[in-house]
A = this chain, B = another copy of it.
Amino acid sequence: MFKGRKINPKAISEINTGFGINSSNYGGRFLNKDGTPNIEKKGVGYFEKISWYHALLEMPRWKFLISILFFYLAVNLVFGLLYFLNGINELDGINAHSTFQKFSETFFFSCETFTTVGYGKISPMGFIANSISAFEALLGWASFAVVTGLIYGRFAKPKAYIRFSENALLAPFHDGNAIMLRLAPFKNTTLTDAEAKVTLGLIVEENGKLVNKFFQLDLEYEKVNSLTLSWTVVHPITETSPFYNFTKEDFKNAQGEILVFIKAFDDMFSNVVVARTSYTLNEVIIGAKFEPMYYRSPAQDKTLLHLDKLSSISKAALNF
């Protein structure tokens, strides 16, 4: 348990990360690896807690497709049953004997109504069957609008196509050391005006109690004009760093979490995109550096960015 070390008083800690200040009310890490906060909401109903539109946007593609298929089957089972219960004599053109055949005819009639195909071989005759089908056609119409909206929403939702290195590193940097992490864009999008904000949550002893304190980590470059190659985000351990004067032992014992927040303008989406991740201090490799990941192409006419090398590291001697 890290506690003895006094934090350098020049370290910048007057920041409000949104995780409270000096509180000891939380458990586990602050951010999950995928950048979502590690928080559970209580005390409100499930449907108030969830924005189902967002849930449907965030869902993996296959789940989304299965949901649509399932919804389609469910609607048609319900309406097929309604037509069936209402009596197939109100559907003109059905020519079936067994109950199964009769139900399957009403089911398929429902399908052609809901999708507005309307072949018309079977058509409603009585008032009730006509009313059900008029309502089902409206429902199909409206469902279609919903699905169109969802599909467009899934397309158009700005996403940050950014990958982070698996680990952060404690690496040599000039005459001292630095905390480093690397990220790279991996799709055919262009990110400009990228900005990084890195925060450290560290367990420290204060008046005999273990409390968490947040520190802002100064970066070598906080901004890049355009995020086209990889970007190694570097926090040099200087006098204003909370890690100032840390020994190798201190690094090993310290308990905390490095929160990383990236913001950039994606000119494909024409929108700001954000990405987040975090590294607990256990996920920081001590004494390593990143290997280069881009090279001149053999024909010397372009630059090759090797995305599979994003987390490639090699050993490096630290400056203590």
In the complex with contacts A27-B297, A261-B192, A228-B18 CB distance below 8 A: yes
A225, B18: Cβ atoms under 8 Å?
yes
Query: Interface SS of chain A: helix, strand, loop or mixed?
Result: mixed
In the complex with contacts A54-B188, A145-B148, A148-B149, A221-B16 CB distance below 8 A: yes
Q: Report the Cα distance A161→B300, complex, angstroms.
A: 32
Task: Give A203 Cβ to nearest chain B Cβ, in Å.
Answer: 13
By a CB distance below 8 angstroms, the chain B residues around A297 are: 27-28, 40
A104, B127: Cβ atoms under 8 Å?
yes
In the complex with contacts A40-B297, A303-B40, A141-B147 CB distance below 8 A: yes
Determine if A44 is an interface residue (Cβ-Cβ < 8 Å): yes
Q: How many copies does the complex hold?
A: 4
Determine if A36 is an interface residue (Cβ-Cβ < 8 Å): yes
Q: Report the Cα distance A134→B133, complex, angstroms.
A: 16
By a CB distance below 8 angstroms, the chain B residues around A17 are: 224-226
Q: Which chain B residue lies CB-closest to A299?
A: B27
A142, B43: Cβ atoms under 8 Å?
no
Task: Give A263 Cβ to nearest chain B Cβ, in Å.
Answer: 8
| Interfacial residues of chain A within 31-45, with CB under 8 A of chain B in the complex | 36-44
A303, B27: Cβ atoms under 8 Å?
yes
A292, B27: Cβ atoms under 8 Å?
no
Determine if A137 is an interface residue (Cβ-Cβ < 8 Å): yes
13 A-B pairs with C-beta separation under 8 A: A28-B303, A40-B297, A42-B306, A42-B308, A51-B268, A69-B138, A92-B121, A108-B134, A115-B137, A117-B117, A117-B137, A148-B148, A153-B155
